[in-house]
Structure 1
Amino acid sequence: MTKFVKVEVQDGVALIMFTRAEAANSLSIQLLHEINETLEAIHYDRSIRAVIVTGDGDKAFCAGADLKERKGMNEEETRKTIALIGRTVNHFEAIAQPVIAAINGVAFGGGLELALACDIRMASSTAKLGLTETALGIIPGAGGTQRLPRLIGIGKAKELIYTARRLSAEEAYRYGIIEYIVEPQDLLKQAKELALEIGKNAPLSLVQAKTAINQGMQTDISTGLQIESLAYSRLLHTEDRLEGLKAFQEKRSPVYRGK
């Protein structure tokens, strides 16, 4: 059976690449299962400090649900597949390591929802993005109606979801959907540079920072500060915290071990 997820790990950075280019990396059931298996393995691998997710080539990051496959499904199968897409998108947000979405091409519907669940979004200057579901008689169903407003504000998110507008990378940047625009030939290079910059820091600190931000953003400021305090306290007795202090005193780069 052909595999649709390719994984490379180098210098503590895991590169996840979707290789179903002939179908614009649309989320078939096989691809969804492969993604979840990959993320499960990465989550528990302490040698991996940061993750990049991208698509093969320069045409598609992910075009969303596989509508050709769904055409042959009954209602129960459709509901199960929609739920699987939702769980898969949530998985990107839930894994311990910071995740960079390197958006190499079109990211429509569930493809953009997947990118929204990542921590940082970097897009090729030729990429196209949009939550296009209302043009298909549905709504974003894998977190898009929740994550996009939290990222760019309610008014702008409503505008984009109601119109099903397809944005250029420049427009997506102006809306605040992506953090970087990069020329296509430099996308992976710059994503790896950012991942390495992140990965040089204490891995347990990255885990707790991600937890504090993601959980705190869902609450009021008072509760968020309590979440931050709990996340901070989990680092007090780690070897990495002591190594960070020692390296600072000795004016050298710290060597973190994730302990």
Structure 2
Amino acid sequence: MSGIEVTYSDHVGMIVIQRPPHNFFDVELIHDIANALEQFDQDAQVRSVVLAADGKAFCAGAQFSGATGAAASAEGKHLYAQALRIFECRKPIVAAVQGPAIGGGLGVALAADFRIACPEARFAVNFTRLGIHPGFGLSVTLPELIGRNQAELLFYTSRRIGGEEAFAIGLVNELVEQEKVRERAVALAKEIAECGPLGVLSTRETLRAGLADRVRAAVARELSEQERLMSTEDFAEGVKSTAERRPANFIGR
């Protein structure tokens, strides 16, 4: 597998993203995470999963190949197909967010059931700052988690928030010291694993009923809008201004 380490202990599966320091993802990485989750689904000894990362960031977003036009569209479709596989997996996932989860990286974190973070963690859906539409199913997962209006605020401003604010608005479940994030995530996963596995799976299926279908419908629109907006002058300016660390001069076309 590329960019991840997969282990198992005490009924808890562990997936660690290993592309430090920023842990940018591409199609291959999301494919491998989905593969690992599907393998855990087939193993009755695994009752819960921890998704963690080595390095400064949990996941700082997507790193695409640089393709344009039809090739870029195909790449996006393949990426979202792999992301949907994550949402279709059956066992509870605890994300250990020790650092920034930005853009699609936040989408990865929100595919999990629970998030353990620290004050140093940073969260942002920074797509509109680039002049495009959010992706990775965030148009479903973020408002369902923190409420529509709070999600609208984060989407429309692209603002970055810290761990304490994320905890206050319900984006993360627990806030601990940075060096204890993974330890606490494992502890929560073990607590889940101590319960009857059939009951947990059945309850999760009820509570997440239709989620994968809602995400599937959302990513179809997300991808379509991203493709359209990536051809605009505003997107080019958004990428350039972000690289140059300055305010963008958007012109609305």
- The answer to whether the superposition gives a TM-score over 0.5 is yes
1:68-79 superposed matches below 5 A: 69-71=64-66, 73-79=67-73
* Structure with greater Cα Rg: 1
**Distance across 2 between alignment mates of 1:116 and 1:212:** 18
- Which secondary structure does the structure 2 equivalent of 1:134 belong to? coil
Q: Is the CA contact (8 Å cut-off) linking 2:126 and 2:158 kept in structure 1? A: yes
Q: Is the CA contact (8 Å cut-off) linking 1:32 and 1:84 kept in structure 2? A: no
Provide TM-score, normalisation by structure 1.
0.77
Extract unaligned runs of 5+ from structure 1.
Answer: 220-259
Q: Residue in 2 aligned with 1:118?
A: 112
**Distance across 2 between alignment mates of 1:65 and 1:87:** 15
- Which secondary structure does the structure 2 equivalent of 1:9 belong to? strand
For the pair 1:62 / 2:52, whether they are aligned, the reply is no
* 1:41-80 deviation digits (Å, cap 9, x = unpaired): 11211110000101113x11111110xx332x12222222
Q: Is the CA contact (8 Å cut-off) linking 1:90 and 1:117 kept in structure 2? A: no
Which of 174, 188, 202 matches 2:182? Answer: 188
- Which secondary structure does the structure 1 equivalent of 2:58 belong to? strand
CA RMSD between the two structures: 1.9
Q: Residue in 1 aligned with 2:169?
A: 175
Q: Residue in 2 aligned with 1:205?
A: 199
**Distance across 2 between alignment mates of 1:4 and 1:217:** 27
**Distance across 1 between alignment mates of 2:211 and 2:76:** 25
**Distance across 2 between alignment mates of 1:206 and 1:118:** 15
- Which secondary structure does the structure 1 equivalent of 2:132 belong to? coil
- Which secondary structure does the structure 2 equivalent of 1:133 belong to? coil
- Which secondary structure does the structure 1 equivalent of 2:136 belong to? coil
Q: Residue in 2 aligned with 1:7?
A: 6
**Distance across 2 between alignment mates of 1:199 and 1:214:** 18
Q: Is the CA contact (8 Å cut-off) linking 2:95 and 2:112 kept in structure 1? A: yes
**Distance across 1 between alignment mates of 2:18 and 2:212:** 34
How far 1:147 moved relative to its partner?
Answer: 1.1
Q: Is the CA contact (8 Å cut-off) linking 2:103 and 2:126 kept in structure 1? A: yes
How far 1:188 moved relative to its partner?
Answer: 1.2
Change (3 A) 1:218 1:48: closer
* 1:224-257 deviation digits (Å, cap 9, x = unpaired): xxxxxxxxxxxxxxxxxxxxxxxxxxxxxxxxxx
1:30-179 superposed matches below 5 A: 30-57=28-55, 59-66=56-63, 69-71=64-66, 73-179=67-173
**Distance across 1 between alignment mates of 2:119 and 2:154:** 20
Q: How many percent of aligned residue pairs carry the same amino acid?
A: 33
Extract unaligned runs of 5+ from structure 2.
Answer: 214-253
* 1:97-124 deviation digits (Å, cap 9, x = unpaired): 1000111111001110111111011112
| Matching residue's letter, 2:54 | D
Q: Which has the higher contact order (CA 8 A, sep 6+)?
A: 2
How many pairs were matched up?
213
